[in-house]
């Protein structure tokens, strides 16, 4: 039976609907809407109608069962000028082909070899963490994960260039994440930000096309992701063009470092405020690793470390909302969804829903014991999304987060820096608004490592 009802939602104000309430505090607003209006909430943001979906069954319907009836939402599509036709933004047959080509590079066996790079980079940062000194942990994690993507994606000799890409991408993202993006003809105005944006695009293209050309000329497999993408062939035996490779590389760079950096930043923040959890983590690391650095093979044994990562992503999901747009009229939860409607699935709201999580705002890594992931209804916990568009880097990211956390927490614990309060800035990702300064302390009694 096709739904005919229109879902309930907060009254908007002419002419902007609910836009101001949303912009002022997206996390609080969406949470209040869910608690007040239920599992499907109608909103008007800008000129668009949005339905926020707050029940796992509806989430699964849109992300999995009816994945063919939706495309990425307007905001994600707005990244097109940066990431082109990369995996994040492409659709239909083109996306399917690209996903199939890229998938083998992200399978378990393929990524296990990156563990060494991850730990090596984490050890270098660990050497900079001096006892009793404050650190901006977010800055540290961004530098660390950018270095890891640089090495695993492009290989070491071009790491400096790849870090340059990281900085240029920041400029490009900043350009797209301000309200001024709605101004007509903004791109044609002779402003400094336009010049900087164009320079950043040129720089990224120059570096990435340069790397692709070099690698094609050399023709050897250096074991990194780009080698795998270069070697990938579809069913007809054709590989990716330079343009496709460029778009995939920029996409992986963008999607592949900030999210993991945020996961770790929030994990260290939470541990700083929960000494008992930090103590249990340290005990596990001492027992499993006995002072030596971790390897990919240790990941299954570092259960509590994994729970800390999961619980951090539950409370502070780096991708805090997923957007879709209906491409045909459809029925969701008995409500009629017209073609063109924007759909929001917010991990922030779902992950803190008391129907699925006891004491939902509390940091309790042990809740993940006894395979909670499998006991939860599918669609309640989705830091990496779900369905055909699920994060291609999810195993890479989990392994990276566990190995980095293990390497650093093995010898250090974090404590809150005086006066530092965590404020959030939800844009495409859930960023901390201001610095995330923490004091790092060398752990007393940590098993020594002399390697
Ligand atoms: C903790 C870290 C990460 C989080 C929380 C995360 C989250 C997500 C989410 C929620 C999606 C789905 C978006 C949607 O359905 O619209 C996604 C997609 C994607 N992610 Fe991740 N991600 C992480 C790490 C990574 C890494 C390490 C890589 C690559 C090295 C990566 C590459 C991608 C790509 C390419 C897509 C698009 C996949 C497609 O549509 O086929 N991500 N990510």
Q: 255-279, pLDDT tens digit by residue?
A: 988 999 999 999 999 999 999 999 9
Q: What is the pLDDT of residues 337-353, one digit of tens each?
A: 999 999 999 999 999 99
Substitution site in 393, 428, 431 for ligand 1 pocket (most atoms within 8 Å of beta carbon): 393
d(CA 151, CA 78): 28
Host H or E run for residue 117 = helix 115-128
pLDDT at 174 over 90: no
- Residue 340 Cα to ligand 1 midpoint, Å, equals 24
- Residue 205 Cα to ligand 1 midpoint, Å, equals 22
pLDDT at 134 over 60: yes
d(CA 392, CA 252): 9
Q: How far is the CA of 372 from the CAs of 48, 369, 381, in angstroms? A: 37, 6, 10
Q: What is the pLDDT of residues 107-128, one digit of tens each?
A: 888 888 899 999 999 999 999 9
- Residue 191 Cα to ligand 1 midpoint, Å, equals 33
Question: How would you label 28-55 residue by residue, b for 16+ Cβ within 10 Å and e otherwise?
Answer: ebbbebbeebebbbbbbbeeebbbbbbb
Spatial contact of 432 and 425, defined as CB atoms under 8 Å apart: yes
Substitution site in 99, 255, 256, 383 for ligand 1 pocket (most atoms within 8 Å of beta carbon): 255
Spatial contact of 69 and 362, defined as CB atoms under 8 Å apart: no
Question: Angle, nearest 10°, between helix axes 394-409 and 137-149?
Answer: 130
d(CA 317, CA 393): 15
Q: Please give the pLDDT value at position 221.
A: 79
d(CA 265, CA 251): 22
The pocket around ligand 1, CB under 6 angstroms, is made up of 72, 87-88, 99, 251-252, 255-256, 259-260, 263, 318-319, 322, 383-385, 389, 391-393, 396-397
Q: Is 379 left (phi over 0), alpha (psi -120 to 50) or beta?
A: left
């Amino acid at each position: 039976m096709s739904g005919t009802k229109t879902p309930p939602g907060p009254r908007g104000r002419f002419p902007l609907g609910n836009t101001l309430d949303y912009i002022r505090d997206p996390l609080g607003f969406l949470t209040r809407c869910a608690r007040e209006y239920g599992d499907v909430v109608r909103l008007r943001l800008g000129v668009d109608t949005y339905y926020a979906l707050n029940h796992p069954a509806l989430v699964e319907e849109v992300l999995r069962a009816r994945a063919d009836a939706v495309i990425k939402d307007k905001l994600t599509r707005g990244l097109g000028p940066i990431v082109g036709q990369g995996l994040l933004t492409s659709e239909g047959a083109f996306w399917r082909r690209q996903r199939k080509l890229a998938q083998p590079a992200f399978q378990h066996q393929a990524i296990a070899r990156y563990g060494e790079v991850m730990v090596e980079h984490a050890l270098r940062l660990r050497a900079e963490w001096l006892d009793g000194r404050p650190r901006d942990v977010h800055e540290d994690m961004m530098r660390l994960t950018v270095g890891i993507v640089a090495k695993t994606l492009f290989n070491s000799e071009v790491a400096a260039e790849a870090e340059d890409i990281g900085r240029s991408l920041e400029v490009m993202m900043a350009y797209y994440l301000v309200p001024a993006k709605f101004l007509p003809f903004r791109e044609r105005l002779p402003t400094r930000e336009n010049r900087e944006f164009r320079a950043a695009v040129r720089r990224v293209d120059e570096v990435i096309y340069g790397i692709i050309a070099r690698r094609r000329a050399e023709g050897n497999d250096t074991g990194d992701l780009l080698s795998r993408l270069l070697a990938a062939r579809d069913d007809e035996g054709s590989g990716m063009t330079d343009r496709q490779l460029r778009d995939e590389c920029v996409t992986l760079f963008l999607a592949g470092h900030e999210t993991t950096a945020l996961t770790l930043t929030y994990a260290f923040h939470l541990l700083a405020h929960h000494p008992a959890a930090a103590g249990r983590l340290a005990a596990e690391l001492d027992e499993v690793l006995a002072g030596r650095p971790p390897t990919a093979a240790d990941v299954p044994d570092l259960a509590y470390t994994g729970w800390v990562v999961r619980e951090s992503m539950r409370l502070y999901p780096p991708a805090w909302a997923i957007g879709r747009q209906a491409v045909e009229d459809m029925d969701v939860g008995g409500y009629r969804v017209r073609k063109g409607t924007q759909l929001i699935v917010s991990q922030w709201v779902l992950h803190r829903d008391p129907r699925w999580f006891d004491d939902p705002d509390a940091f309790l890594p042990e809740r993940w014991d006894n395979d909670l992931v499998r006991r939860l209804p599918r669609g309640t916990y989705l830091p990496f999304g779900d369905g055909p568009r699920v994060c291609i880097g999810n195993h890479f990211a989990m392994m990276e987060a566990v190995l980095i956390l293990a390497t650093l927490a093995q010898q250090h614990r974090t404590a809150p820096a005086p006066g530092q309060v965590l404020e959030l800035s939800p844009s495409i990702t859930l960023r901390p608004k201001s610095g995330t300064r923490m004091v790092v302390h060398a752990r007393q009694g940590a098993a020594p490592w002399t390697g």
